[in-house]
Structure 1
Amino acid sequence: MSYSVTVLAPHLVQYHAPIYRALSASVRVRLNVLYQDTTGAVGRRDDSMGADIHWNASLLDGYQHTFLKNWSPTKGAGAFFGRVNPGIVPRMLFGSSDAVLLQGYQSFTNIAAFMALVPRSTKVLFRGEATLKEQFGIHEHIKRAMLKAVFALSDVVFYSVPANEEYFLHYGCPKHKLYPLPCAVDNDFFRQQRIAHSNSRDETRDHLGFSKTTTVLLLVGRMAPYKGHSQLLQAAAHATANGSDLGIIFPGDGPLRSELEDEATSLLGNRAKFVGFQSPETLSRYYVASDVLTICSNYDPSPKVLNEALNFELPLIVSDCVGQIGDSARHQDNAIVFPTGDVGKLEDAVTQLASDEGLRRRMGARSLALADQYSLKADVDCFLNALDSVIAL
């Protein structure tokens, strides 16, 4: 059985476009993505990243899409009224889709879509990737009330990682409405990139000033407080003082870059390299040149760089707030998990992997093996399973 599916998306997202292409390639899905604004369609300035963002590949190829007119004066800002698309109402009221996928609920347009679907028999699919964190007061009460309404109006609630499922259950989602939709990236693309850059490892390391025997740590992401760059610098400095030969590559940009560069120079001299924002193609060179992926965030529901790193056969060091723990990041299997914010435990993990090349290889091999379980094909299969469950039966 085939299905007509409409996706309501806030804007173009690098990691979502491959999923839309994979769904559109299925003979069982007729997909149309409605974008609430044009953010990401062309090069743009990301002030929070402190960089101009340009993608080498189009995020619009391979699937049907439409841009809705956004009447908001703030044009896509994070506020509730940042996306106001009145055109969504007739599309929901009079559309012919079998199902509509709504991503999030914290905008005027998403709420309007939910309400317009109430009198329809169209199946409502909901997706969000939040995980639990401490929250108190009026915001917690509003969230609980909003999610209660979302769950009541949805036929399917997709979760991407175990911590995401725990979040939905915590806020009262009925168990029978929960369906997995794994956190995944385009594994084929990144494996092709690994092959393309396979001969560049020594060249890249030499260019950065790292020897063949240096253990190179990679931390990818926005240079903001929650990402934990400073924690890694401190842990690496302690480990280096105790004899470890370490280097760090920091792809990304953001408000803390200048401050972090000063801290890195003070703690590690020239052992930390800041290489700026990277496209997926250029970032792949740094995956190939690295020995360990590190994620030191104090809140990170589903960092896709973790899934990317699996395809480059990298072992992982991740804080225990990362949503993929127990899923694609398994402690003492392909990852070492440390308590969030504990620089001492982070140092122990860095030292352990830096001192044992055999362990790095074994854990890296497990990463590559796990990658196949979190693929676009798995996403398509799970998506169709959910549709079969609520429509076909």
Structure 2
Amino acid sequence: MDRLVKNEKPIRIAIVVSHPIQYFVPFYRKLSEHPELHLKVFYGARVGLNKYEDKDFGVEFAWSMDLLEGYDSEFLSGSEKVTDTRFFSVKHGDIDVHLENFNPHVVVIYGYSQLLSIKTLYWCYRKSIPVLMSSDSELLQHRAWYKKAVKRLLLPLLFSKVRGFLTVGDNNESYYRYYGVNSAKLFRCPFTIDEDSFQRARCNRVQIRKRWRAENRISEDVFVVLFAGKFTQKKRPNDLLEAIDVVSNNRPVCAVFAGDGPLMQEMKKQASQLKKNSCLFLGFVNIDKLPDVYVSADVLAVPSEKEPYGLVTCEAVAVGLPLIVSDKVGSVGPTDTVRAEENAIVYPCGDVRALADAIVRLAENPPLRQGMGRKSLQIADELGMSASVRGFMKAVKSACVK
């Protein structure tokens, strides 16, 4: 493989993934611009390309960005018939044919939650082609004992066939080490977002904030706590509603909910009974409108009980927001996006009183809030797109020379 890569430039990279994912597209575009790479993404499903109903959001929508623009891609046979991304659903039958035709030097797969990834790994093993794996797996969540036992038995074997791991943060790296992966095989490759959109919003924060708050009848003196995500039990959006109803503050607080889901009607009923403070339900907000919502808020709250990473935290730090997150959010860590008492307040998941206290602490302490906001911007620069590309290239070059 070392001889092949040295004699053939650029390095051919095949990324095999279930379906177009809006967060990954900017990264694919950036990698496609790299002079040392020839990138092609292989998809097993077309989910997300056209208007569809997300079972967690509970609404029908289409992403407002072109998910295929700016990089080469191919779809496997039958991908147009796939309606979900479960283990057996995503097409995988002819992935070997597609890979044979492309003849990659390195292949990237996403975890092991679809048969497509397992089949790709097997094909690479037979062809002696190095594989890089990316995932957001962590050890924060409760898992049944029998699942732990099976993973403890099988994952070390599976991971031994992988040349390197594109890790997204501290908890992700702890997960791999727990299952026997040597630290030398870990390459930090932080999750990416559409940085340009968020940077534009950040640069125009004053004007956007003034306009957005006027449109939504929120005065400048109101402290806005943003929740962005799906209204499901594991996201615990109700905790934020309960928290703003018990905060003991001198400044008015408004919880803004950007999202939708099964809990929407229950939450609206709960909101109608608030004794103090207020809330605003925006419904589903598409990705082209989200940056305006972030820069109009004062803090992002992530009360989830199950959040393997939490890409909303990347979006928040990109515009310089402080964060309040539960201790079950995967992006919390000393070198990660969310750093306790640096740019965030981390509280025990489900402790509404602690969540309320964190809101008051930030609402009534402008220097603390501003300092955490500055730290968020620093972290955004440290873990941005450039860091992801550097980590990816380091992993690729390491894979090619072994």
TM-score (norm 1): 0.94
* 2:128 matched residue in structure 1: 121
Residue number in structure 2 paired with 1:66: 74
- Give the residue type in structure 1 aligned to 2:267: L
Please state if 1:328 is matched with 2:337: yes
1:121-163 deviation line (CA, Å, top 9, x unaligned): 2111111111112212433333334422321110011210100
Give a deviation string over 1:321-362, Cα, whole Å, max 9, x none: 222212221122111111111112111111101111222112
Compared with structure 1, are the counterparts of its residues 227 and 148 closer, same or farther at alpha carbon in structure 2 (3 Å cutoff)? same
Report the alpha carbon displacement of residue 250 of structure 1 after superposing the two structures with TM: 0.3
Superposed displacement of residue 94, structure 1: 6.0
Aligned AA (1:294): A
Name the CA distance, whole Å, in 2 between partners of 1:382 and 1:114.
21
Displacement of 1:76 after TM fit? 4.5
Cα separation, 1, equivalents of 2:302 and 2:156: 32
Q: Does 1:386 align with 2:395?
A: yes
AA partner of residue 387 (structure 1): V
2:144 alignment counterpart: 136
* In structure 1, C-alpha distance between the alignment counterparts of 2:66 and 2:153, rounded to whole Å: 38
Q: Deviation at 1:282?
A: 1.1
Asked if 1 retains the 8 angstrom alpha-carbon contact of 2:43 and 2:75, the reply is yes
Contact 2:26 2:192 in 1 (8 A): no
Q: CA RMSD in A?
A: 2.0
Matching residue of 2:3 = none
CA contact (8 A) 1:72 1:84 kept: no
Counterpart Cα distance in 1 of 2:196 and 2:254: 28
Letter in 2 for 1:306: T
2 CA distance for matches of 1:347 and 1:149? 45
Q: What stretches of structure 1 of length at least 5 have no aligned partner? A: none
Which whole-Å CA distance do the structure 1 matches of 2:270 and 2:250 have between them? 20
Distance (Å, rounded) in 2 between the aligned partners of 1:149 and 1:24: 32
1:160-192 alpha-carbon deviations (Å, 9 max, x no partner): 010011111112223322221112323232111
SS of 1:306's equivalent in the other structure is helix
Q: Which residue of 2 aligns with 1:38?
A: 46
> In the TM superposition, what is the alpha-carbon distance from 1:311 to its structure 2 partner?
2.1
Residues 77 and 145 of structure 1: is their aligned pair in 2 closer, same or farther, counting only changes over 3 Å?
farther
Q: 1:144 & 1:378 partners in 2: Cα distance?
A: 31
Unaligned runs of 5+ residues in structure 2 are 1-5
**2:224 corresponds to:** 216
CA contact (8 A) 1:83 1:109 kept: yes
CA distance in structure 2 between the aligned counterparts of 1:136 and 1:289, rounded to whole angstroms: 41
Partner Cα separation in structure 1 for residue 83 and residue 101 of structure 2: 26
Match of 1:359 among 368, 378, 382: 368
User: 1:233 offset after TM fit, Å?
Assistant: 1.1
- Are 1:286 and 2:293 matched, yes or no? yes
Return the alpha-carbon distance in structure 2 between the equivalents of residues 328 and 110 of structure 1. 27
Counterpart AA for 1:224: T
2: CA distance between counterparts of 1:14 and 1:316? 23
**Alpha-carbon offset, residue 373 of structure 1:** 1.0
Would you say the 8 A contact 2:209–2:296 is kept in 1? yes
SS in 1 for 2:329: coil
Name the SS for the 2:246 alignment partner: helix
Q: Report what 2:93 is aligned to.
A: 86
CA contact (8 A) 1:187 1:371 kept: no
Q: Secondary structure at the match of 2:325?
A: strand
Once residues 328 and 11 of structure 2 are traced to their aligned partners in structure 1, the CA distance between those partners, rounded to angstroms, is 37
- Tell me the secondary structure at the aligned position of residue 103 of structure 2: coil
Structure 1 residue 368 and structure 2 residue 377: aligned?
Answer: yes
* Identical aligned residues as a percent: 31
Superposition TM-score, scaled by structure 2 size: 0.92
Q: Tell me the matched-pair count.
A: 391
Distance in 2, Cα, partners of 1:213 & 1:96 = 59
CA distance in 1, matches of 2:311, 2:352: 23
Q: Is the 8 A contact 2:198 2:318 kept in 1?
A: yes
Q: Which moved more, 1:100-109 or 1:268-277?
A: 268-277
Tell me by how many angstroms 1:86 deviates.
Answer: 0.9
Q: Does 1:315 align with 2:322?
A: yes
* Alignment map for 1:1-393 (pairs within 5 Å): 2-70=10-78, 75-92=82-99, 95-132=102-139, 133-196=141-204, 198-240=206-248, 242-267=249-274, 271-325=278-332, 326=334, 327-392=336-401
Deviation at 1:206, TM superposition (A): 2.9
Deviation at 1:25, TM superposition (A): 0.7
User: C-alpha deviations, 1:51-70, integer Å up to 9, x for none?
Assistant: 12222220111100001123
Instruction: Indicate the SS of the match to 2:282.
Output: strand
Native 8 Å contact 1:93 1:117 kept in 2: no
- For residues 104-131 of structure 1, give each alpha carbon's deviation from its aligned partner in whole angstroms, at most 9, with x where no partner exists: 2122222211111222121111111111
Structure 2 distance, partners of 1:101, 1:37, is 17
CA–CA distance in structure 1, aligned partners of residues 391 and 14 of structure 2? 17
Which amino acid counterpart does residue 361 of structure 1 have in structure 2? Q
Give the conservation status (yes or no) of the 8 Å contact 1:118–1:153: yes
Query: Residue 219 of structure 2 aligns to a residue in which SS?
Result: coil
Matched residue type, 2:68: L
Question: Hey, what's the Cα distance between the residues in 2 that align with 1:56 and 1:183?
Answer: 20
Give, in whole Å, the separation in 2 of the partners of 1:266 and 1:92: 57
